[in-house]
Amino acid sequence: MSKLNKILTPKQQSVLKEALTNQEWTLLINHGGVRAGKTVIDNLIFLYQLREVANIAKKVGKEHPLYILGGVSSRTIANNVLNPLSDTYGINFKFDKWGNFELFGVTVVQAYTGSIGGLAGIRGMSAFGAYINEASLANEEVFDEIRKRCSEGKGRVLCDTNPDVPTHWLKKKYIDNPNNSKEIISFHYSVDDNPFLSERYVNSLKATTPSGMFYDRAILGLWVAGEGAVYRDFDERTMLLDDIKVSPNAEIYAGIDWGYEHQGSLVVLADIENKTYLLEEHTAQYKEIDYWVDVAKKVCAKYGRIRFYADSARPEHVARFNREGLRCINANKSVLSGIEEVAKRIKEKRFFVRKAGIQEFLSEIYEYVWDAKSGMPVKDNDHVLDAIRYAIYTKNHKPSIIRTFKGF
């Protein structure tokens, strides 16, 4: 046990023991906060499962047993499962032309769960088990199909996931286990379940995670809906400034939420010494593209040839900006990730607003609230905030680098 204490947390050890000794389960779900150790233990159980499948298949005379490895995309499977397994255990994966590989004599078939298209890769097959990474992001029909495909041997399905809304199908049907089935077991994690994380890191993570839904999900691992204001940490008393001195080394950029029937908004932001400032907001209704080109050119005359991160819903407007010599690209419109990026700056008191430069910002930020049913913001009074989100998230979001293995 002393060796296990060096590589597994107490929580992981108890889950591993249950997974290996409980003979009744067919669905095991590890769910909870970030960096809590869910995927680490699932990756280890995955290896144990493949060993067991190989033994069962040998006893029943099955020469080429199949096992499903599911994830939202090839990228997430590589980042969350394959790369860590290679780093930790020195496994050298050799992939065939379909992205499948063999391990311990078991053929592992990759299935992409992010859309209904994932059904194509598994339909008709008979598998001995499955491992589904990021299960709450899976298409429910694909998830159900994977479970149905696991008809050989013990047919066990292993999952890990971060929380989502409390009405999510994974929680209601399986984690809550309404029928009290002994075949379904689940384990909840919070970030405090991982003592291998440094105290400094945990304290920093807690201090910088936005309040409300983001904190409850990421830190406490709770399945909660957002309640109240989305940007609840915004403090008008300290974050609304009479003037902002824009230093020569400031990074100035802009975001655009196109509009016509509803309001459109163009915002100008500056990053100065790790702080973000909203310098200008231009919000208007019933304005053609000529108007926004004129606004953008005036902004560039004032601040230089800055970059505009624009709503991709109007590609013709983006193209027009570029024809006019304006540097305009489609923004990354990820809603929750983008909101978290902005909310984190607000909580860390790294976001400020120039009072004289705004029109609708203050009314929007106080009226921008969560929808309790969907877990997403109510789509109303959000044009300025969308433009801000597009700009901040796209400028600062760095796509993860995927390391590849020989044969991948």
**What's the pLDDT score for residue 389?**
98
The H or E element that residue 366 is part of is helix 361-367
What digits encode the pLDDT tens for the residues 163-179?
998 889 999 999 999 99
Query: Do 344 and 366 meet the contact criterion of CB atoms below 8 Å apart?
Result: no
Percent of the chain with pLDDT over 70: 97
What digits encode the pLDDT tens for the residues 50-61?
999 999 999 999
**What's the pLDDT score for residue 228?**
84
Structural tokens at position 195: 């003592």
Burial class (CB in 10 A: 0-12, 13-18, 19+), 324: middle
pLDDT at 63 > cutoff 80: yes
Give the residue with greater pLDDT, 240 vs 2.
Answer: 240
3-class secondary-structure state, position 127: coil
What is the mean predicted confidence (pLDDT) over 82-101?
Answer: 93
For the chain, counts of helices (H) and of strands (E):
15, 14
pLDDT at 355 > cutoff 70: yes
Nearest to 42 by CA among 61, 67, 19, 22: 19
pLDDT at 406 > cutoff 50: no
What is the mean predicted confidence (pLDDT) over 76-94?
Answer: 94
**What's the pLDDT score for residue 346?**
95
Strands 184-189 and 156-161: unpaired
Rounded Cα gap, residues 27 and 175, in angstroms: 10
What is the mean predicted confidence (pLDDT) over 384-403?
Answer: 80
Highest CATH level, class, for 2-218: alpha beta
Q: In the structure, what pLDDT confidence band is assigned to residue 401 with cuts at 50, 70 and 90?
A: very low
Q: In the structure, what pLDDT confidence band is assigned to residue 381 with cuts at 50, 70 and 90?
A: confident
Q: In the structure, what pLDDT confidence band is assigned to residue 405 with cuts at 50, 70 and 90?
A: very low
**What's the pLDDT score for residue 123?**
84
The beta strand positions in 258-372, using DSSP E, are 264-272, 275-284, 307-310, 327-330, 351-354
What digits encode the pLDDT tens for the residues 303-343?
999 999 999 999 999 999 999 999 999 999 999 999 999 99
**What's the pLDDT score for residue 373?**
80
Rounded Cα gap, residues 147 and 119, in angstroms: 12
Q: In the structure, what pLDDT confidence band is assigned to residue 2 with cuts at 50, 70 and 90?
A: low
Structural tokens at position 85: 């397994």
- Residue extent(s) of CATH 3.30.420.280 domains in the chain: 236-396
Percent of the chain with pLDDT over 90: 84
pLDDT at 404 > cutoff 80: no
The CATH number of 236-396, from 3.30.420.280, 3.40.50.150, 3.30.470.20, 3.40.50.720, is: 3.30.420.280
- Residue extent(s) of CATH 3.40.50.300 domains in the chain: 2-218
Nearest to 315 by CA among 303, 339, 331, 299: 331
What digits encode the pLDDT tens for the residues 222-236?
998 887 889 999 999
**What's the pLDDT score for residue 399?**
52
pLDDT at 400 > cutoff 60: no
Strands 240-241 and 275-284: unpaired
**What's the pLDDT score for residue 212?**
87
Rounded Cα gap, residues 197 and 126, in angstroms: 40
Mean model confidence pLDDT for the chain? 92
pLDDT at 31 > cutoff 50: yes
